[in-house]
Each structure stands twice: as structure tokens, then as C-alpha cells.
Structure 1
Amino acid sequence: IGGWFSNPIFKNGDYPEVMKTRIRDRSLAAGLSKSRLPEFTESEKRRINGTYDFFGFNHYTTVLAYNLDSDSSISSYEADRGVASITDRSWPDSGSFWLKMTPFGFRRILNWLKEEYNNPPIYVTENGVSQREESDLNDTARIYYLRSYINEALKAVQDKVDLRGYTVWTLMDNFEWATGFAERFGLHFVNFTDTSLPRIPKASARFYASIIRCNGFPDPAAGPHSCLQQEDAEPSVSPVSEADVQFLGLTLGTTEAQTALYVLFALMLLGVCGVAFLSYKYCKRSKQKKPPPGEQELNRVSSF
């Protein structure tokens, strides 16, 4: 995908040659008169080429690719690119099926961008790892991921990659597309069952804060660094405070008031059901005591 979007902007104003050749050949084999891939005019190439300020790069994992030829009648992105991907089962897992922890690939892809696109200024706009349904705030797997990946990014800087910024994904647990709240990428834990949505720092938040303070990893051989002596700030209170609510003459929090309302509703429902049941029993007993119509007429005749 990088070549598809990046090649026209960062290289020569046109799609990669391998992309144009492959799609043209597959289009002709499918009986078309020309390639399904649109062509840029020379004027468009000149306008597109070089129109960038920096290379924004999202990176999470690495895969192994191998050739996979599909029938020419299939016209799709997957079929046109002609490759499939696998992962090494020895690579550490994460909370996402597609994300394996592969820090070595980070340095390699940064160096590839440098060589392929004449070393543009690069900002890593997303990099992080998920854990599924985590409740333990001691997220050592995420700390391993951040330490390893950021270390590879620093190696890339030593390789003369023009890497100017790095952003971890993400500050706090949030809604992750089709997986909803099941996969957590955050440095701060969010309790989604609490209406105030409190944010609680995980161990990775403190670890990442130390990297920011030290602007990297201090050399252990140089002894304790002053940046590691600073104390972490106390966790901030949830930005959504629990307001007091007046309920039946009592001052309750929103959670307690909600519970009390449910209890009151349940008692009212139970009372209505009780009244309906007693009314039914009363009517049934009244019908049993009332004499049949024929017997009532006989009693009136006998009274004369």
C-alpha cells in the first residue's frame, strides 16, 4: 500500500512500475482492452510529485510475504498485488489477531522509507500494542513492546533516517473499530462500565513518561540519571465528577440514586402484581358464594 500512495507524492508523480505492469498484464489477460489502473498525465505527475511536508507513518507489526498468483478474472486489490502473508509462530502475540510483536521490522521499514523516498522527514503517527480485556494495570507486555520498538526507532536515527517525531497509540483505552472495547491499546485503563469513565494509569504510562523525561534510554554504565529520579505525578481525578442527587429526601450520588430508582420501580411493580392477584382471588370467591340463577328464582317463588 505504501508504494500505491507514496510513490506518486514522494518519488516521481506516478505509480510504481511493478504495480502498473502487473495490473496491465492481468487486465489484458481478463479480456480488457487496457489496464484497469488509471494513468496520470505528464502534467498531473508534475503537479503531484513533491507535494508533501512530511511522511506520516503508522506502524504496528511485520509479516512475512510470499507469492500467490490469482486467476486473472478476479479483479481486486488482494489478487492484483499477488502476495499473501504469514507470521512466525514464535513471535509474541498481542490482544489483536493481526498484531505480532516484531520490533526488528520497525527499523527495517524506516530504513526502506529512507532509501526508497530520498529520506523524507518522518513522523511516526501511531505505534502501539493491544491487550484483550486487561484488568491488571501492570502491563509488562506493553512495556516490552514500547521499549523494543522505540529502541529500534533510535537505531534508525543512528542509521541517518530523518525521524523527527514519535507518537504512541494510545493515551487511553478507546473504541477500536469492529472489536469495540475488547482490545485495549491505552496507556491508561478506562472502566467502561462506570458512567464516569475513570482513567487509571497503567505501568506503561509511567514507563513512557520516563522515556519522555529522559528523551530516550539513559546509559546504565553512566550511573543513575537525574531524569529517573523524578517522581511520577499522581493520577488525576476522573474529569467527570459524580454529582449529588436529591432522592426521596436523601442526598445520593448518581450511582446510588440510579440503584434506588430501580429498587423503587421493582417494589411498585411487585405491589401492582400483589393488588391484581388479591383482586382476582376476591372475584373468584364472590362467584363461588353467589347461588345459580335457577336457585334464585325458586327461592323467590317459595317466598309467596
Structure 2
Amino acid sequence: MNPFVFGDYPCIMKKAAGARIPTFTTYEAKLVKGSVDFIGLNHYITVSVKDRPSSIEKHSRDFGADMAAEVSLEALTADQYPVIPSGLYELLEYLKEAYGNLPIYIQENGQKTLRNGTLNDTPRIEYMHAYIGSVLDAVRNGSNTRGYFAWCFLDGFELLGGYVLSYGLYYVDLDDNELRRYPKLSAYWYANFLKGKEVQFSKLRTN
């Protein structure tokens, strides 16, 4: 984000990456500075980070070594993501303060479940309810967040999980030649949410 807003990479980043990071000419810096229209944000999980300065000393350097940090990614291997909406709220607050409150569109946010689980996907509803709430809190606190998109409408092939995991509000029967689709509980909940209705889980149904 720094080049788009300030015209150059952060000093700490240039120090860590050295000659492997491009250097902008004065003309290039002028072109790129302020050229961003909005921030497109994908958010699923919050991770913990621990300082690891020893990685800077490695002769073989890469993205991981440049960070000089140890990142916990256990949540990526779990069947479901932990619900930590404060992580999204704090990220929106940081972007507001660090980059002049540019427009933000949350392009992806959603809960994963095992593909052949159940249509009564209450963990997905609980996840979306919590994270949409954190977006509302951030907007009320001045964040210029303008859009939210759930990932995703239909079950499909997922980047990290293939057909094992699903994110869709609608189940797609891949064993059916017609690829029939069935709404999950989350589809009813989200539809009612968008219509401004307050609906309890017990009043929803999946046929």
C-alpha cells in the first residue's frame, strides 16, 4: 500500500529486502503516488505473530525471511476458522489511520466447513453475523468501508481445499449430472439480513 499512497516502499521493507526490491525513479514515484482508487480486502482469519530477527541473518533470503517473524497458521488446517471479529475491526482501523481512510471493499469473507457436512450450517451464520457486526462497528467509528461480499454464493473448487472444503451459501451436488443446488441455512439467514429482517436460527428452515 505504501507506494500507492506515499510513492515508495517503507524504509524497513527496503532494508530487509535490499537489492531485491525495485527502486522507483522520481518520475515513477510521482506516477504511482495517489494512484489507488480503493483497497480490496480479503479477510478470513486472525493469526499471531512472534518476532524472529534471526531470519534476517540467513544467506538464502525469501519473503518469509524478510518478515523476520514467526506466523502461526494453525487455523488454515482446521475444519473451521475461529471466530475472531476483532481482527477485522482492528485491520479496518489500522487502514483508516495509516492510509488516510481510503474507500475499502471487503471482497472476500467467509467460513469454511467440510463439504459433505450439513445444510444447517450454523457455524457459517455465527461467523458472518460476527464479522458483519465488526464491519458495522468500524463504519460507525469512521471507517470508509463501502462494501462487503461473502465468500461465496455456491460451493465450488477452493484454492487451498479443493472439493474437500466448502464456503458456499448453496450446496452443489457434484454427483448429480444436473449439478443441483440446495440452499443452506446461511442462505436463508443472509437473504433475510439483506432484507433488513431480524430472524432467529429456530425460525429458519432447510428443505
TM over 0.5, shorter chain: yes
1:47 paired to 2:31 = yes
Distance 1:228 1:42, change over 3 A: same
Matched position secondary structure for 2:20: coil
In structure 2, C-alpha distance between the alignment counterparts of 1:94 and 1:104, rounded to whole Å: 20
Question: Could you tell me which residue of structure 2 aligns to residue 206 of structure 1?
Answer: 188
More helix per residue = 1
In the TM superposition, residue 135 of structure 1 has moved relative to its aligned partner by 3.0
Question: Could you tell me which residue of structure 2 aligns to residue 73 of structure 1?
Answer: 59
In the TM superposition, residue 95 of structure 1 has moved relative to its aligned partner by 2.5
Question: Could you tell me which residue of structure 2 aligns to residue 111 of structure 1?
Answer: 93
In structure 2, C-alpha distance between the alignment counterparts of 1:37 and 1:53, rounded to whole Å: 24
Question: Could you tell me which residue of structure 1 aligns to residue 16 of structure 2?
Answer: 22
Q: Structure 1: which 4+ aligned runs deviate by more than 2 Å? A: 93-96
Letter in 2 for 1:72: K
In the TM superposition, residue 74 of structure 1 has moved relative to its aligned partner by 1.5
In the TM superposition, residue 100 of structure 1 has moved relative to its aligned partner by 3.2
Question: Could you tell me which residue of structure 2 aligns to residue 32 of structure 1?
Answer: none
1:173/1:185 contact within 8 Å kept: yes
Q: 1:193 aligns with which of 167, 170, 175?
A: 175
Distance 1:122 1:228, change over 3 A: same
- TM-align CA RMSD: 2.2
What is the correspondence of 1:282-301 to structure 2 with a 5 Å cutoff? none
1:95/1:184 contact within 8 Å kept: no
Q: Structure 1: which 5+ runs fail to align?
A: 1-5, 25-34, 215-226, 236-304
Q: Structure 2: which 5+ runs fail to align?
A: none
2:83/2:130 contact within 8 Å kept: no
Question: Could you tell me which residue of structure 2 aligns to residue 253 of structure 1?
Answer: none
What is the correspondence of 1:139-150 to structure 2 with a 5 Å cutoff? 139-150=121-132
In the TM superposition, residue 228 of structure 1 has moved relative to its aligned partner by 4.5
In structure 1, C-alpha distance between the alignment counterparts of 2:131 and 2:20, rounded to whole Å: 39
Letter in 1 for 2:38: F
2:173/2:181 contact within 8 Å kept: yes
1:63 paired to 2:47 = yes
1:124 paired to 2:111 = no
Cα shift readout 1:23-47 (whole Å, capped 9, x = no counterpart) = 23xxxxxxxxxx2222111111110
1:13 paired to 2:19 = no
Letter in 1 for 2:49: A
In the TM superposition, residue 192 of structure 1 has moved relative to its aligned partner by 0.9
In the TM superposition, residue 104 of structure 1 has moved relative to its aligned partner by 1.1
1:126/1:168 contact within 8 Å kept: yes
Cα shift readout 1:3-53 (whole Å, capped 9, x = no counterpart) = xxx1111x21111111012223xxxxxxxxxx2222111111110011122
In the TM superposition, residue 130 of structure 1 has moved relative to its aligned partner by 0.5
Q: 1:95 aligns with which of 79, 82, 97?
A: 79
In the TM superposition, residue 131 of structure 1 has moved relative to its aligned partner by 0.2
2:103/2:144 contact within 8 Å kept: yes
In structure 2, C-alpha distance between the alignment counterparts of 1:178 and 1:163, rounded to whole Å: 27
Letter in 1 for 2:16: R
Bigger radius of gyration: 1
Cα shift readout 1:243-274 (whole Å, capped 9, x = no counterpart) = xxxxxxxxxxxxxxxxxxxxxxxxxxxxxxxx
Matched position secondary structure for 1:138: coil
